Structure formats: structure tokens, C-alpha cells
Amino acid sequence: MLESSDRPGAIVTISRQDTIQHAAATMRAHNVGCLIVSDDEGQLVGLVTERDIAHRIAAASQSLDGAEVGQIMTDHVVSCAPGTPTGEVRRLMTEHRIRHVPIVDDGTVVGILSARDVMGRQLAEDRAAAEEVAMLSNCLKSIDLNEAAEIVAAEAPKLFGAKNCVLCLRRRGSEADDPELISSNRCPCLDGHMRATDDALEALPSDSFCEDMLPTECEECGGPGPRVLIPLEIRGLKEAGAGSERRLLGYLCMCSLAPDIAANRELISYKAKLTREIVTAHLTNATRYQQARLTSLTDALTGVGSRKLLEDKLQAEFDRAKRYKRPFSVAIIDLDHFKMINDVLGHAVGDEAIRKLAMCMKQEKRTPDVLARYGGDEFVILMPETRAASAQTFLERIRAKVREIRLPQDTALSMSCGVAESDPEQDDPRDVMRRADLALYGAKSAGRNCVKLWDATMARLIDADDLEIEKIKTLQRRVAGLSEKAEKMFMESIWGLVQALEAKDSYAKTHTESVMHYAVGIAHTMELGPKHVDLIRRAAMIHDIGKIGIPDAILAKPGALTPHERTVIEQHPLIAVRILEKMTFLEREVAIVRHHHEKWNGQGYPDGLARTAIPLGSRVIAVADTFDALTAIRAYHETRSIAEALRIMTDSAGYELDPDVVAALTTWFTNISAQCDKEVDQLTLEDLELWPRPGIEGSDDSMRPVSATIGASD
């Protein structure tokens, strides 16, 4: 609102009989661009501005001596009342193409607003609104989805002075009365919100947040308008079996707004946009955390518990049994002839066999029992308060049920099972698993399709002779060596692909190698350690591999990119993820590559991460990438000196770039200048490539040119 405190200084008035020369002199004397023209009673009759005088001077064909203000003044004055919202004043100025609006109270001018006044007030309002909305982000500390939703429903209404609030999220395609998540601060029309349909959610406007008309359900419950309606779309992780992201549609609805806020629609819209970004980002993170947690505890193929769930429950049961001296039993179940099923009937049938076995055991087990997939075709059942003999009877019943399962070609299933009971004197819950595993080995040795209990006679199997142990260790080393060679061959292939990609661009032939060198130099300066340095080096090697999917016309365009072209080129980190996501040994590198275009202020892409939410490796590569872009010749700019590039990056530190990483880059250059006996502003790119040189403390192979490290022998 524009209150009295927003008014400029003294109002300068003039009469219509005064001369134009007098008006110009008055403007200069008071340093204003507009004068109020009043009559003898002091009532507003018009305005005269600098522009009016300038137009008269430009159009005058004779002397201005004696010309009066009344001849050039604007007598149809657009004014506003005290307390008019800033947005409304700006709308008046835009609509009438004017730069000054008098503030009139009962026909008397009490102030005058210029475009500069309005702009300053708008900036102040926006800054205050942004700070206010930022407090919501500070409140959202929980990564539990339900708790986060409750915080939003409690805190978001405070931004709009709203009494009633509902946060509603629904899974696409779910029943209309079955929301995935709904939270409210005691909204009286909660039931009406639960009946929203997919079509209604899809139709919510994305750029209009304030509505005067309320739904019938809200009016019937006495909900006063207007209301703020913020559409939300939460995208989770890809779900097993679906192949698509988990997608939640919904909205944040608030009504019974404070009168002063309800009158300022532009401010409501600005706050709503900021609120949507914060709420969407936090609920997305909470949704993905919830999914990841459930995924880590649930096997994707069968829906039973995961190995992690088993390990957690086994430790808890072991502690309970040891404390109260109570027994529990563990059974390890193996599907017989699983390899033959896969080879003869196909892997799809093999997966179906595993699912049917899991379903059979899930239906037969007791409620307190824990069923988990241990790996491949092996399952484990943890049975609290159960002796081994009772467990054997239970497993025999399951074995009989499994024999009734039929696969294509009338193939029957069977299972082998080993059972072991806990020992109150044992010190490690893994001991009971070892004994159950030995019992399973006994069941397989007995011809499969049976249940065996562990007994002391099986203990001798624990102590294999030295030759067998040595064979196992030798085989482990050979497998590890093969894996290492496969990784090295893959990285060599990737490097060849990167070089081929850059060869097409005459301006970026050594870009990747330069970024690798700078990133490693920064990482060494930050003392990140050899493993982290090598991780950053490998990530830098593949950071632009996604550009293989970007058309050459966009990559090599000499001029500014269009918004569409910018959107296309911003896809290259995600393309890199798609190319490399199956390479599990590059999991950490891929995460760094995905986020190397994020910015410290959260305005980067593809995920808009900010500050330390961005992986450290990504922040290092971002600085290295920026430095190379500034100092290398590009189609769209000439090369800059090292000193000039450092000045530009220092200005961006704490805004787009991590200030600590930029400081490390500066320190690295300072160290190089000391070694080269030069000032920093005298360094050349050739100096950077030569440092550190052999014999300098701290140098190692990771700092040599990439051609010397790719495929180097161990």
C-alpha cells in the first residue's frame, strides 16, 4: 500500500496563468519533473510535466514569451487515493502511458507519485515478500513427507494472512476420494477438497493464483473469498515395474485472507510463485526420500522385504532374544534348479517363478515373521519366539504349497531350506545365518526339495582346508582384476568418444582436457584427498558427454541462443545421465556430471540445487568449466586473460559459483605464480599446463595430461 510515508517531498504547485518559462524555472529550482496546477481555491485542475514543456519548445514556431501553463497542461488528470496498492498505481501508469500520478484526498492533492517512486516501492515490497517466504523454507527441516505437509499447512497461511488452508496431493489416476496426502489447519470444507478429480487438477491455471469465486463446497461451509490457489506437481523417483516417475498432482488452497493482503493481487501472485517453488522443491525431496527409504526396505521384484530390512530386523531380534533369553529361528530358502528355469523357459518365467514363491511364503507366514529376499533366488524368513523344530514344521508346510505351483509346460517348483535356531551365548547375529546357510547346503547335498535343521555335525564344514580357502581368495583377486580392466577399457572408450565429439568443434578441441586439469588443480589445492581428486578427474572427463545428443547447429551457433535452443542445450547433463546410468561403477561420477551446471544461488539446471546441496565435485567442475570458457576462444567471444577471468569469477563467487572453490582456484594460481617467478596477471595458459612439474612436492600422475593417464598401466 502507498501510505503517507511513501509520498515524496513537498508538493510544488503553479497556476494556469503562470508562464511556461516560470514553470521550467520552478522545476529546476525544486528538482522535480512534474508540477501540480491548481486554481485559486487550491483545487487540482491539471498537471504540467517536463515532457509537456519539451514538446511545446520543440513545436513552437515563435517566441514562448508570455505563453501560459494553461496552454500545455494536462487537464484530464489520472489520480489515485491514499492507500492505493502499488500494483494498481503501476497499472494506471502503464494503461495511460504516464509517469506521474497525484494522490488526491477529497479533491485536495496530498502527494504525487513518480514512476521511480513506484519502482522503488515495488522493489521494497518484493524484497520483503521474498524474505517472508524464505522463512517458510527455514521451517521445512523435516524430510518426512507427512510432517513436511503439516508444516506447510501450518506455516504457508501466515504469508497471506489466511485463516483456512488445505494441502491436497493425489496420485494421477487414483480414485477421486482417495488422496495420497491431505493436510489442513482445520479447514471447514476439507471433505470438498477430497473430491477433486484428475481433470480438475490438470485444469488448474499455473499463472493465476487469486480467485474471487469459491467452489460450492467452500461457500456452503462459510469459507470467505477470495482464496489463493497454488497448483502443485510433485515428481518422485521412477517406480519399479512402471518405468515412469511417481507423479502427484494437487494444490495448496488458502482462504479468508487478511484484507490488506487480499487487496494487493500483484503481491499475492509474487508470494504464491515463490511459495510454489519452495513447497514443490521440499515436497519433491521428501517424496523421493520416502520412496528411496521404502525401496531400500522392499524388494522391487517380489514386494517382500529387502536384504537391508532383514539385516535391521535380525539385529533387533538378536538384541531382544539376548536380553530376555528367548529363542528365534532363521530359515534360508533356495529355489531349486532356478538356472535351468531361466535357460529353458526364459528370464521372464524365471522372474515369475520368484514372484510366485515369494507370494506363497508371504501368504503362509505369521504376522510377526519377517520375509525378505536375500539375493537372486534366495529368501530368508526370520521367526521370533520360534524353536527350530517348530520352524521345520512350518517350512515343510510351505514346501508342500510350493510343489503345487505350476509354470509353463507344466513345470513344477520346489525349494530347499536350511533352518537354524539362535544361541543365547552367541555374540554375533550373523552366526545364526551361517548355521542356516550350512543347513541349506546340507539340504542341497541331500538331493534338494527338503528342509534340513542345523546340527553340530555340520560344524566341521566351517573349517575348510587351507587349499580351498586359498583358491577362493585367488578367484576373488582374479575377478577383481577383470572388473578393473573392464572399467579401464570402458573409460578409454569414453575418452575416445569425448575426443571425437570435441573434434567437430574447432573452438573446443581441448575443452575437456583443460577442464580436467583445472578441476584436479583446484581439488589438490583444497586437499580433498587422492580418491576424491580421482573421482573429480573422472567426472570432468565425461562432464560434456551428453552434448552428443545436442544438434551441431546449436553447439556451434556464433550468436545468442533462442529460449528454445537454450532449453535444448540445458538437456545435456540429463542426456549424460541416460548414457551412463547403467554403469554402476560410475554412479558417483554420474551424480557429479548431472549437477555441474547448478549454481550457488539455485538458478542453475537441471534441478535448481543451491549451495552445499550441489555435490562438491560438481561445484569444482563448474568453476573449472567457467574458467576455461572465459579464457578459451569461442565463437561468441574472444579469449580473456587469466587475471580478467579471475576478476569475473571473483565477482560471481557467492552468487553463481562456490566462493570456497573460487578461492581455491585463486590460491592455485598464486602457487603457480610463485613457482614460475611471475605475477598472477602475467601467467599464461601454458604456465598452468606445466604445473605442477616433476620434482614439485605434491605432484602425482593425476595432474599429468589426460593422454598420459588414460589407460596407463598399474
Residue 708 has pLDDT above 50, yes or no: no
Report the mean per-residue pLDDT for the chain.
Answer: 79
Q: Check which CATH number belongs to the domain holding 235 and give it.
A: 3.30.450
pLDDT of 597-624, one tens digit each?
A: 999 998 998 888 888 889 999 999 999 9
Query: Across residues 557-563, what is the average pLDDT?
Result: 79
Please state which of the ranges 13-17, 215-219, 350-354, 390-394 shows the lowest mean pLDDT: 215-219
384 and 491 co-located in one domain: no
In SS3 terms, 504-541 reads as CCCCCCCHHHHHHHHHHHHHHHCCCCHHHHHHHHHHHH
Residue 393 has pLDDT above 90, yes or no: yes
In angstroms, the CA 154 to CA 150 distance is 6
In angstroms, the CA 471 to CA 477 distance is 10
Q: What is the pLDDT of residue 598?
A: 92
Any idea what the Cα angle at residue 171 is, between residues 170 and 174, rounded to 5°?
95
450 and 325 co-located in one domain: yes
State the cell numbers at 611.
549451495
In angstroms, the CA 308 to CA 315 distance is 11
State the cell numbers at 419.
533352518
217 and 359 co-located in one domain: no
**Domain count along the chain:** 4
User: Does the residue 133 lie in any domain?
Assistant: no
Query: Across residues 431-441, what is the average pLDDT?
Result: 88
Q: What is the pLDDT of residue 375?
A: 83
Residue 167 has pLDDT above 50, yes or no: yes
* Confidence band of 63 (pLDDT split at 50, 70, 90): low
289 and 180 co-located in one domain: yes
Taking the whole predicted model, whether its pTM rises above 0.85 is answered as no
State the cell numbers at 446.
541331500
Residue 189 has pLDDT above 70, yes or no: yes
* Confidence band of 685 (pLDDT split at 50, 70, 90): low
Place of cell 519433491: 284
* Confidence band of 701 (pLDDT split at 50, 70, 90): very low
287 and 416 co-located in one domain: no
Residue 160 has pLDDT above 70, yes or no: yes
For CA atoms 450, 452, 457, 461, the dihedral sign is: positive
Residue 530 has pLDDT above 90, yes or no: no
Q: What is the pLDDT of residue 702?
A: 37
Q: What are phi and psi of 23, to 5 degrees?
A: -60, -45
448 and 316 co-located in one domain: yes
Q: What is the pLDDT of residue 682?
A: 65
Specify the 3-state DSSP secondary structure of 369.
coil
User: Does the residue 125 lie in any domain?
Assistant: no
Place of cell 583446484: 522
419 and 510 co-located in one domain: no
User: Does the residue 127 lie in any domain?
Assistant: no
* Confidence band of 4 (pLDDT split at 50, 70, 90): very low
Residue 387 has pLDDT above 90, yes or no: yes
Q: What is the pLDDT of residue 470?
A: 45
Structural domain containing residue 258: 140-297
Q: Check which CATH number belongs to the domain holding 112 and give it.
A: 3.10.580.10
In angstroms, the CA 560 to CA 566 distance is 9
Query: Across residues 189-217, what is the average pLDDT?
Result: 67
- Between residues 207 and 231, which one has the greater pLDDT? 231
In angstroms, the CA 193 to CA 195 distance is 5
Q: Check which CATH number belongs to the domain holding 311 and give it.
A: 3.30.70.270
pLDDT of 314-337, one tens digit each?
A: 988 998 888 888 899 999 999 998
Question: Which of 398, 625, 672, 637 has its CA nearest to residue 519?
Answer: 625
Please state which of the ranges 417-421, 489-493, 544-548 shows the lowest mean pLDDT: 489-493
Q: At what angle do helices 659-676 and 616-631 cross, to 10 degrees?
A: 60
User: Does the residue 473 lie in any domain?
Assistant: no
Q: What is the pLDDT of residue 689?
A: 65
State the cell numbers at 369.
515373521
99 and 157 co-located in one domain: no
SS3 helix, strand, coil % of the chain, rounded to 5? 55, 15, 30
Mark which of 244, 279, 297 sits at the end of a domain.
297
- Between residues 240 and 654, which one has the greater pLDDT? 654
- For residues 79 and 51, the answer to whether their CB atoms sit within 8 Å is no
> Cis peptide leading into 224, omega within 30 of 0?
no
Query: What end-to-end distance do the CA atoms of the chain give, in Å?
Result: 71
Query: Across residues 340-357, what is the average pLDDT?
Result: 86
Place of cell 535444448: 568
Q: What is the DSSP secondary-structure string of 662-706? A: HHHHHHHHHHHHHHHT--GGG--HHHHHH-SPTTSTT--GGGS-H
The radius of gyration of the chain's CA atoms, rounded to the nearest angstrom, is 36
Query: Across residues 56-60, what is the average pLDDT?
Result: 74
Q: What is the pLDDT of residue 10?
A: 57
User: Does the residue 135 lie in any domain?
Assistant: no
Q: Is 154 exposed, middle or buried (0-12, 13-18, 19+ CB in 10 A)?
A: middle
Residue 399, amino acid:
R
Return the C-alpha torsion angle 622, 626, 627, 630, nearest 10: 180
363 and 284 co-located in one domain: no
372 and 510 co-located in one domain: no
- Identify the helix (H) or strand (E) that includes residue 593: helix 587-594
Q: Check which CATH number belongs to the domain holding 626 and give it.
A: 1.10.3210.10
pLDDT of 273-312, one tens digit each?
A: 899 999 998 998 888 887 777 667 788 888 898 888 888 8
Query: Across residues 461-476, what is the average pLDDT?
Result: 42
Residue 188 has pLDDT above 90, yes or no: no
Return the C-alpha torsion angle 50, 55, 60, 64, nearest 10: -10
Q: What is the DSSP secondary-structure string of 37-49? A: EE-TTS-EEEEEE
User: Does the residue 130 lie in any domain?
Assistant: no
Mark which of 297, 326, 351 sits at the end of a domain.
297
User: Does the residue 175 lie in any domain?
Assistant: yes
666 and 546 co-located in one domain: yes
State the cell numbers at 185.
489447519
User: Does the residue 442 lie in any domain?
Assistant: yes
Residue 175 has pLDDT above 70, yes or no: no
Any idea what the Cα angle at residue 495 is, between residues 490 and 497, rounded to 5°?
95
Mark which of 438, 463, 488 sits at the end of a domain.
463
Residue 653 has pLDDT above 70, yes or no: yes
510 and 394 co-located in one domain: no
Query: Biggest alpha carbon distance in the chain?
Result: 125
